[in-house]
Amino acid sequence: MKLTSVWVAALLGLLWAAQGSAHPAHHSYAEVEWSAEGTLDVALRVIPEDLEAALSRRAGTTVVLVNTPVVREQLASYLAQHFVLQPAGHAAAPEVLGRDVAYGESWIYFSIAADREQILSLRNTVLMDHQEGQINRVRLLWASSAATLVFTEREPERQLGVIAE
């Protein structure tokens, strides 16, 4: 009987140790669609604490996702570096349109003016500078069956192709 309780205690200890070393998965998710005005409209879902930490590191001071001109500019600058349409010269910098901040997830809404007749690719490294193992998914709403692209540290860039009307 005593030996069994020792084994149970050892097993529980191993389970607790394994749980302590595990960390939550970090993912972002975006939905993109072409607007009638010729912009790529993006809704990006992220973990708010991760985005605030990444912005804070860049700014050298604490950044909170509030709706101010300074934070919108910080977001636009971050997105211009980490959510980039290629080739250069065929897409403008992102324009932050709004955000919906909540506990657990936040949505950032922005648009990028681009030439939909060019063959475009997307480089999505959002939060990869902050979280090891970050995985970013982008759902192309104009594509047949709404294709989803997956971006990782190994594959940070994927082709979007020509998006003709």
Per-residue pLDDT 10s for the chain (165 aa) are 454 554 444 444 444 444 444 446 679 999 999 888 888 999 999 999 999 999 999 999 999 999 899 999 999 999 999 999 887 666 678 999 999 998 889 999 999 988 877 888 899 999 999 888 999 999 998 876 768 999 999 999 998 865 554
pTM for this model (two decimals)? 0.80
Say which residues have a Cβ less than 8 Å from residue 115's Cβ, sequence separation at least 6.
38, 90, 91
Whole-number pLDDT of residue 10: 43
Alpha-carbon Rg for the chain in angstroms: 20
Whole-number pLDDT of residue 2: 52
69-82 and 48-59 are packed helices; what angle lies between their axes, rounded to 10 degrees? Answer: 90
Whole-number pLDDT of residue 25: 63
- Kindly list the distances between the CA atom of residue 143 and the CA atoms of 38, 73, 121, 122, in Å, as whole numbers in the listed order: 16, 31, 14, 15
- Kindly list the distances between the CA atom of residue 69 and the CA atoms of 65, 95, 126, 137, in Å, as whole numbers in the listed order: 11, 12, 21, 28
Q: Helix, strand, or coil here: 144?
A: coil
